[in-house]
Structure 1
Amino acid sequence: MSPDIRLSTSWLSRVVLLFACFSHAFYIPGYSIRSYRDDENIPLLVNKVYSDTSQLQYAYFDLPFVCPPTGHKHHGSSFASGHSLPLNLGEVLRGDRIKTSDLEVNMGQDLDCQYLCDRVIGREEMKWAQSLIEGDFLAEWILDNLPGATSFVTVDRSRKYYSTGFKMGYKDFDVATGKERYYLYNHHTLVVRWRKAPGKSGDNGGKVIVGFEVYPKSISGGHRNETGCPLDVSGEQDSLALYIPTNSSKLREQYADSSYVPAEPTDDVDDDATMTIPYTYSVYFRETNDIEWANRWDLYFSDQTESSPTHWLAIVNSLIISGILGAVCIVIWGRTMQGDVRGRGDGVLEEARLRITKRAEKKKTGSGILEKGSEAGPEEELLSDEEPLEEVSGWKLLHGDVFRPPPYGGLLAPLIGSGMQLVFMIVGLLSLSCAGILNPSWRGGFWNVGVGLFVLAGGFSGYLSARVYKTFGGQNWRKNTMMTALLFPGLLFTLVFVLNLFTWAQASSTALPFWTLVGLACLWLLIQLPLVHLGSYIGFYRSTAWEHPTRTNPTPRQIPPQVWYTKHQITLALGAGLISFAVLFIELIFVFKSLYLDKSSYYYVFGFLSIISTLLSITIAETVIITTYIQLCAENYHWWWQSFFVGGASGFWIFVYSMWYYATRLHIEGFVSSLLFFSYSALACTVYSLATGTIGFLTAYMFIRRIYGGVKVD
């Protein structure tokens, strides 16, 4: 046995190392590489502004205090500024609104200062700018498919890393007035890092971009030359305060009938006062040979080095929990499949049935047997009331009821079908992410592929749902098909549509355009629905129902009184869900941080997440086996829904964790942002619970078929 153990350990370690390598191979080398020659125009695109304190995003050109597009074309450019780039479905779902800008960036041409525009704003526009600065909103610009980044250096100055986006301003106290002021960044220094292109393109003078950094600065409108640029861009300058002085004459006219004239304008005062914001920018090209084009995204993975030990700790934690549960399952398996403590084998069910029959006959004869007393033989002594009942109690007595169709089976079957659809989608996304196909360079790729996999998996959903429904004895397969195709996708579409109304009202780019909603509805009703119908037809008419190893009795067996943890299904499920949640907890910290706390970074360690997901699935299967065995030993055969609830119960704890995260870690402000957070968190937990609940259901079904499969009991 020792060689087998060494072989298994070696195989496991190789798999873990392989996935760990995949977690860093997030970008496919040589994919869609683009080189530029000297003086060739490089389109600079503007996208949106976003914040960790808000679930709302806004298109950059929708902001009333930035330079609007002029509609002019750059030299060698195909599109005029303000042109909207065609977006894929994933980009629209992410809230991207990418347009060409007026910023002139030509390969190798440095610009010390270039005037862009003077933007005149009023008090309303100023308040909007102040609110975005208060909310720590970041702007996203794009150059050669790289998002403009804020550059940081570690404390020991040993490593440089990027954070996507750059701030729009800052808040500070005005020394002269002693009041808090907001300062807007109106000058942007762009640093484009390049290196010689690989291969023949580099030999011909081609250059590739390996870094794009943005350094914003606030410069007041005074002391500028005739071009509109500051006299000294790099020197110390007064900052541009977002402050509009009071128009005294207008205020006196507005408060002509009142003895009170406010010293500072209030929200209900419209004094027509304005301020002018001058926008300028600089461009510098710097050769950088220590970064390969294929690895240019590595700097955006800010916690790549520091978090690796924690990810390994998450794997070790998962292995320990899974190993303990596995040992319990081995004990259960040995007790049920290899015989109990008295050495009984698979014939124990048949023997149990015969012993129960003899006991019933004995009770019918009554006192006649009791009177024989001492003359009773060994067989009669074994049938006395005082004999131990351990061998004919518990799960062995449920052979005639364990496969009895559950209540509301017509609802459980569509849920199982939808869960399988989600399992297919999740496995596909994790696999493609580990292979590096889904990476940051493919904007919206994760959402694109996710929607595609979900729609195409409709066939699997319909097939499994129909087979489960047929196994439950259902006859109306069309009704089951429609429930499978419409129940979960319908609830999903309805929730997205309702939330979209709120984001529409906020003029946010997070809101999906009307035609995008129409397109999603078409994918659902014109592609997924027929696939579900086809799969359901094959599963119901071309496949047989699952055959059970034991026949179900016509009359249901009475369930004896239950202990507290088996009496209520929800209690056992929630307790078991905590175990599965413990497996996922450590990795969940990084997922939440990337999604909510630091949106400027990317979650990239899909290799680690795939390992954790695999161990999570194993843990869920082990937990379901244990809880199902406990339930059967309590002579409770209502295991169908119980296995589904146990499998998906950890989704409840993830939602509880998200509420704690919201209260203690996030600083989300506003009703709409909070509504979006909790709604999408609940939706994500529902998706998770459906997928893991399906895993739990199928695991319990295979386990019960196996332990009752040794005997055919009539």
Structure 2
Amino acid sequence: MGRLSSVLRLICVVSVYIYQAGCDEHNHVYDKAEEVVLWMNTVGPYHNRQETYEYFSLPFCSGPKESISHYHETLGEALLGVELEFSGLGIDFLADVPKIQYCEVELNQEKYQAFVYAVKNHYWYQMYIDDLPIWGIVGEIDEGGDGYYIWTHKKLDIGYNNNQIVDVNLTSEHKYKLEPSAKIPFTYEVKWHKSNVNYKDRFDKYLDPNFFQHRIHWFSIFNSFMMVIFLVGLVSMILMRTLRKDYIRYGTKDEDLDDMEKDLGDEYGWKQVHGDVFRPASHPMLFSALIGTGYHISVVAGCVITFAILGELYTERGSLLSTAIFVYAATSPVNGYFGGSLYARMGGKVWIKQMLLSAFSLPALVCGTAFFINFIAIYYHASRAIPFGTMVAVTCICIFVILPLTLVGTVLGRNLAGQPNYPCRINAVPRPIPEKKWFMEPAVIVVLGGILPFGSIFIEMYFIFTSFWAYKIYYVYGFMLLVFVILAIVTICVTIVCTYFLLNAEDYRWQWTSFLAAASTAGYVYMYSFYYFFFKTKMYGLFQTTFYFGYMALFSIALGYMCGTFGYVGTSVFVRKIYSTVKID
């Protein structure tokens, strides 16, 4: 009986816990008079939303209620610097709170200087109620510039629909002049009102359709689409007509040729490098690792954009980043399969080393850059500092999830697609590359190859940058998917044209050229980020500059991996096609 009573007691406790957990901010359903938690998140300068500090790093005071322990629910939350702390303010569902003082701060010299600095630098703070973000300003400067004031009263106006919160507005009131030794009272009040806003539409007020769905945005998509049609038509017309003439010239009998063609014979053109065109690229281990990672990033980008369209990931804190990390880890076999199979086809033998390079090349870059920025964030006591536990979690994901799955993909790739099946034999001795005009050199082709792809995504980059570095929520993922497809098509078309000209100049080094020509798009994006930093933002200082250019470098590198893979894969199909059609004697 004692054991049975213990089991029943345990069941009762679990049942009570489940009931209590059934109505809270996790499922966004509340009972009347149930506690609603006001979380204080971060504070920081308005002109750089990425430089943030813990709310209570300023000498604010909390309410009288006992604090609630909060742990990061998602990895994305922790990586984004979300530092939720309980405000200590009592708020109950549907219960109005009259204006009431909840604490008082006596300013010593240190606290006075901290508040003055925050006001001078236009500090804003962020709070959350039921996952809805709320922003408020710390204070303002007197019109004469010699007085600094802080807002001391928080008026929360909360809208509800049935038993769900659908709207929150904050009004900052009661300016109090900052003076040493002054005692500043902080007050709050809460008003509830019925709202007609549906729960599924409650984030619409945070979106900016006038910005993201502006005619310029639509025009840029249309312009990029027309560029795709033009390029595809141009590639089809020029290459097919040119190749048809080449096929006729290569396949025509001698008696059917005129005197000039007889003299020239087959001594020029892309046919002459048929014995070297499928020669393995230089540094095959690095090349195959880059291609495998590019495949991986392409799959992750496509999946995350699709999930964002279907699931509206922008409504949950850190959900987009958490989804990206999960998809990247789960799709690691893609990296191993394509990288490992390509390395095997190129005759590579040290496949374990290639697999490690493929699995860790991008995570090592990301972690190395993030940890470097993390030291600066720790020095500045910024909330962007990544907790040690989060760093351990990311390391474990790399070692215990990404590495084994990449190994599985590598083994499958080597066994299923690791045999070379080139349409032409490879000569034992490499053919010398003849001299050619300067604009046909691979270095020139690489520099010029990224201009058109960058032009197709230029406008979208502005919207993406603005959403990340300013107070905008990016939600038009349908536009992003269209731009993603357009970028792939434009990149493939451009690199095919570049490769055809390179081969026609009897230069068979097309693998690296096609990859780098397409990847150079990322170089133009990074150069554009300099323009955006100096002319579109008001960032300054070591932390803001390092944070901006560090993460923009990571974004550009990932984009370079992806575009380079687009270029190589499309060019590879083209090269196989033209050399499998021509009969080689």
Shift of 1:86: 3.7
**Aligned residue number for residue 425 of structure 1:** 300
1:172 counterpart = 2:131: no
Aligned partner letter, 1:328: L
**Aligned residue number for residue 268 of structure 1:** none
What RMSD in Å do the two structures reach over aligned CA positions? 2.3
Shift of 1:314: 1.6
C-alpha distance in 2 between matches for 1:672 and 1:36: 41
> Per-residue displacement from partner, 1:113-147 (whole Å, max 9, x unpaired)?
01110012322222222332333332111112211
**Aligned residue number for residue 340 of structure 1:** 245
C-alpha distance in 2 between matches for 1:385 and 1:431: 57
Shift of 1:706: 0.7
341, 354, 365: which one aligns with 1:467: 341
439, 447, 458: which one aligns with 1:574: 447
Shift of 1:391: 6.2
215, 237, 240: which one aligns with 2:176: 240
**Aligned residue number for residue 430 of structure 2:** 556
**Aligned residue number for residue 56 of structure 2:** 61
Instruction: Classify the secondary structure of the residue corresponding to 2:176.
Output: coil
Shift of 1:275: 2.8
C-alpha distance in 1 between matches for 2:265 and 2:231: 25
- Retained in 1: the 8 A contact 2:122–2:137? yes
> Per-residue displacement from partner, 1:562-615 (whole Å, max 9, x unpaired)?
222222x3322222211111111111111111111x23x211100111111111
Shift of 1:537: 1.6
C-alpha distance in 2 between matches for 1:145 and 1:121: 32
Instruction: Classify the secondary structure of the residue corresponding to 2:311.
Output: coil
140, 150, 153: which one aligns with 1:184: 150
Aligned CA distance change for structure 1 residues 287 and 388 (closer, same or farther; 3 Å): farther
**Aligned residue number for residue 706 of structure 1:** 577
**Aligned residue number for residue 387 of structure 2:** 513
**Aligned residue number for residue 565 of structure 1:** 439
Count the aligned residue pairs.
Answer: 560
Instruction: Classify the secondary structure of the residue corresponding to 1:551.
Output: coil
- Retained in 2: the 8 A contact 1:328–1:626? no
- Retained in 2: the 8 A contact 1:460–1:535? yes
280, 305, 309: which one aligns with 1:434: 309
1:400 counterpart = 2:306: no
1:48 counterpart = 2:42: yes
Aligned CA distance change for structure 1 residues 663 and 439 (closer, same or farther; 3 Å): closer
Instruction: Classify the secondary structure of the residue corresponding to 1:209.
Output: strand
Aligned partner letter, 2:131: N
C-alpha distance in 2 between matches for 1:421 and 1:51: 36
1:604 counterpart = 2:570: no
Shift of 1:541: 3.3
Matches of residues 484-499 of structure 1 in structure 2 within 5 Å? 484-499=358-373
Structure whose CA Rg is larger: 1
Shift of 1:712: 5.1
**Aligned residue number for residue 630 of structure 1:** 501
Shift of 1:82: 4.7
Aligned partner letter, 2:351: W
**Aligned residue number for residue 134 of structure 1:** 120
C-alpha distance in 1 between matches for 2:45 and 2:31: 36
Aligned CA distance change for structure 1 residues 350 and 409 (closer, same or farther; 3 Å): farther
Matches of residues 98-497 of structure 1 in structure 2 within 5 Å? 98-148=84-134, 165-174=135-144, 179-195=145-161, 197=162, 207-217=163-173, 219=174, 239-244=175-180, 274-289=181-196, 291-304=197-210, 307-335=213-241, 339-340=244-245, 344-345=247-248, 349=250, 387=262, 389=264, 393-440=268-315, 442-497=316-371
Percent identical residues: 27
Aligned CA distance change for structure 1 residues 51 and 391 (closer, same or farther; 3 Å): farther
Shift of 1:323: 1.6
Aligned partner letter, 2:302: V
C-alpha distance in 2 between matches for 1:709 and 1:127: 75
- Retained in 2: the 8 A contact 1:468–1:545? no
C-alpha distance in 2 between matches for 1:305 and 1:173: 31
Aligned partner letter, 2:535: T
- Retained in 2: the 8 A contact 1:69–1:102? yes
C-alpha distance in 2 between matches for 1:324 and 1:242: 63
Instruction: Classify the secondary structure of the residue corresponding to 2:417.
Output: coil
Shift of 1:504: 0.9
> Per-residue displacement from partner, 1:397-432 (whole Å, max 9, x unpaired)?
221111111211221111111111111111111010
Shift of 1:554: 1.6
Instruction: Classify the secondary structure of the residue corresponding to 1:608.
Output: helix
C-alpha distance in 2 between matches for 1:44 and 1:288: 20
Instruction: Classify the secondary structure of the residue corresponding to 2:447.
Output: helix
Aligned CA distance change for structure 1 residues 110 and 69 (closer, same or farther; 3 Å): closer
**Aligned residue number for residue 375 of structure 1:** none
**Aligned residue number for residue 693 of structure 1:** 564
**Aligned residue number for residue 11 of structure 2:** none
**Aligned residue number for residue 590 of structure 1:** 463
TM-score scaled by length of structure 1: 0.75
Instruction: Classify the secondary structure of the residue corresponding to 1:185.
Output: strand
- Retained in 2: the 8 A contact 1:625–1:699? yes
Aligned CA distance change for structure 1 residues 526 and 69 (closer, same or farther; 3 Å): farther
Instruction: Classify the secondary structure of the residue corresponding to 1:400.
Output: coil
C-alpha distance in 2 between matches for 1:332 and 1:455: 42
Aligned CA distance change for structure 1 residues 515 and 56 (closer, same or farther; 3 Å): same
> Per-residue displacement from partner, 1:57-105 (whole Å, max 9, x unpaired)?
1121332x111464x3xxxxxxx32522443100001100112222222
Instruction: Classify the secondary structure of the residue corresponding to 1:518.
Output: helix
- Retained in 1: the 8 A contact 2:346–2:420? no
C-alpha distance in 1 between matches for 2:517 and 2:419: 25
Shift of 1:386: 7.7
Matches of residues 596-675 of structure 1 in structure 2 within 5 Å? 596=469, 598-599=470-471, 601-675=472-546
Aligned CA distance change for structure 1 residues 668 and 542 (closer, same or farther; 3 Å): same
Matches of residues 27-46 of structure 1 in structure 2 within 5 Å? 34-46=28-40
Instruction: Classify the secondary structure of the residue corresponding to 2:554.
Output: helix
Shift of 1:385: 6.9
Shift of 1:619: 0.7
C-alpha distance in 2 between matches for 1:306 and 1:625: 33
> Per-residue displacement from partner, 1:467-486 (whole Å, max 9, x unpaired)?
11112111111121121123
**Aligned residue number for residue 69 of structure 2:** 83
Aligned CA distance change for structure 1 residues 280 and 312 (closer, same or farther; 3 Å): same
> Per-residue displacement from partner, 1:547-567 (whole Å, max 9, x unpaired)?
111111122222221222222
1:534 counterpart = 2:411: no
Which structure features the higher share of helix residues?
2
- Retained in 1: the 8 A contact 2:77–2:317? yes
> Per-residue displacement from partner, 1:438-488 (whole Å, max 9, x unpaired)?
232x21111111111112222111111111111211111112112112322
Aligned partner letter, 2:298: V
> Per-residue displacement from partner, 1:590-645 (whole Å, max 9, x unpaired)?
1111111x23x211100111111111111111111111111111111111001111
- Retained in 1: the 8 A contact 2:119–2:140? yes
C-alpha distance in 1 between matches for 2:211 and 2:198: 18
Aligned partner letter, 1:185: W
Shift of 1:336: 5.2
TM-score scaled by length of structure 2: 0.91
C-alpha distance in 2 between matches for 1:506 and 1:425: 33
Unaligned runs of 5+ in 1: 1-30, 73-79, 149-164, 198-206, 220-238, 245-273, 356-377
